[in-house]
Amino acid sequence: MTNPRGDGLRPVADQSEDERGGPGSILSRQSRDHADLDALMRAHDAETDPDARGRLVAELAERALRHAFAEETVLFPAYRHHLPEQGEALTAHIEGDHQRVNELLVQLQDADPRSAGYDALVRRTFETIRHDARDEEDDLLPRLQRVASPQELRAIGAAWEVQRRTSPTRPHPGVPRRPPGNVLAGVPLAVSDRVKDAAEHLLGPRAARGAGRAAAVAGGALALGLAVRALRRR
Ligand SMILES: [Fe+2]
Ligand SMILES: [Fe+2]
């Protein structure tokens, strides 16, 4: 089946793994991760216990944020490189949706699953995440596939996966959605997010906020040190 807009693009969902460039290509990796995100949203909708729903939203948030951060730092720059004429408009549109997801997740982080308005907030977040996956699977990725070789699609997939594993784990709407701002901020934020995650796991949300602030300072110093060292090597 081709894209309903009549532009001849074949949605990722309609392609076999071979056609996508193999299991390691960015098309296959995105498709699998979008399916995992969708499964978490459906599990949330089938759950009736508010605490369990809150845990599912937290799991979804971390996974969606890692996925999007790796797109902003690896996939979208690669797309703009391969399609310099048309790349800007579509990636700017998707980055706008990522920004909205970051803002919604900040609100959800502090919301009580039993409170009025929580469900409406969850609905808007899920809708935006699903819309984002459609833009990528039906438009951005098939367009990239037209101009990039299967080897290039696999190289982008491998780089996206590395970035996804090392990315920040919490929403950061104040961080730029494009390199170099997001790349530079990503190192200290990934450190402080992981300290917060560990502190929250052991001590609860309030301790996590203090631990995160201390780690952000340490992470910022680490990033600055790495930047200075890189400049000296030039
Ligand atoms: Fe995305
Ligand atoms: Fe995606």
Counting ligands in written order, the one closest to the CA of 97 is 1
| Ligand 1 centroid distance, CA of 175 (Å) | 16
| Ligand 1 centroid distance, CA of 31 (Å) | 11
Nearby residues of 234 by Cβ (< 8 Å), 6 or more positions away: none
Counting ligands in written order, the one closest to the CA of 132 is 1
pLDDT in tens, 75-123: 999 999 999 998 999 999 999 999 999 999 999 988 898 998 999 999 9
| Ligand 1 centroid distance, CA of 214 (Å) | 30
What integer best gives the mean pLDDT of the chain?
A: 86
| Rounded-to-integer distance, Cα 1 and Cα 12, Å | 10
* DSSP states of 120-137: HHHHHHHHHHHHHHHHII
- Among 13-17, 67-71, 147-151, 228-232, the range scoring the smallest mean pLDDT is 228-232
Q: DSSP alpha helices (H): ranges in the chain? A: 17-20, 26-46, 50-70, 76-82, 87-109, 118-135, 141-147, 150-166, 181-203, 205-233
| Ligand 2 centroid distance, CA of 136 (Å) | 6
**DSSP state at residue 13:** G
pLDDT band for position 26 (50/70/90)?
Answer: very high
| Ligand 1 centroid distance, CA of 142 (Å) | 14
pLDDT in tens, 144-199: 999 999 999 999 999 999 999 988 888 889 888 989 888 888 878 887 888 777 77
| Rounded-to-integer distance, Cα 95 and Cα 226, Å | 27
Stated pTM of the model: 0.83
Closest by alpha carbon to 94, among 153, 141, 28?
141
Q: How many CB atoms lie within 10 A of CB 180?
A: 10
